[in-house]
Amino acid sequence: MWLCCQIVATRGVSSSKTVCFQPLPGFPGLFPLDDAQRLTRAQLSSILNQAKQNHTGLFLSYDPTQARYTQEVLNLSELLKDEHFSAKKLTTKIRTNPELSAFLECIMTGRKYHRQAFPHVSLSYFDQKEDLYAYLADLSKKKWTVFNLPYANENEEYVSAAIVMDNTFYYHGNRLHSHQAREKQIYDMISRTISDLQIVVYHNPPVFLHIYNILNHKD
């Protein structure tokens, strides 16, 4: 049995589509829903109603720090408190590989990993927009997922990702900040990268130097 429901499109589009969920292997009455924080309130309500009508269970996983940045961030714990859900908090990351997980902490918080090598992380710098675009186009041809500004995050993982950081980013102390609150998007994209990561810095020498020092274990 599959759980199917009508999902109204976001961004003001009036059309809808039917979405079907497969049950967990070995649990025919339990349906997983990953990244539930990306749902709208109406979409969540539609899924809950279908689950009730079919007398099925739902297994929701969500992270409020990785919500879509153009919509309301739902407080799922509050919304589901009357729906007989039991909440459990994960204390360890299960997606990011150890190397990228360590680099993520370094680039976001300044935590030091003096013995951690980063062979799958590379860094480049550009001052000219034309050179930057040519480089990104070449990466795309080589099947890299390229995140240029403005970022557009999707609900998926990336084998190889290249992330552009421009002069809206800065470090205060050792913590990464952005004038446009894009540091959460940086966290999101790195945490979804499976294997290889490139940080492409554009017109921002201080950020380039900070990340260079991380990769080369310099204080």
Domain harbouring 204, CATH code: 3.40.50
State the pTM of this model: 0.64
pLDDT per position as a tens digit, 163-209: 999 999 999 988 999 988 788 889 888 988 999 999 999 999 999 99
Burial code (b: 16+ CB inside 10 Å, e: under 16) for 110-145 equals eeeeeeeebebbebebbeeeeebeebbeebeeeebb
**Average pLDDT per run of 10 along the chain, which is 219 residues long?**
56 54 74 75 81 81 59 65 68 67 89 80 96 95 88 76 95 89 86 93 96 85
**Residues β-bridged to residue 202:** 126
In terms of domains, do 25 and 62 share one?
Answer: yes
| Structural domain includes residue 155 | yes
Q: Is the previous residue joined to 150 through a cis bond, with omega within 30 degrees of 0?
A: yes
| Structural domain includes residue 93 | no
The residue segments making up the domain with residue 124 are 98-215
Which pLDDT score is estimated for 13?
Answer: 40
Which pLDDT score is estimated for 55?
Answer: 81
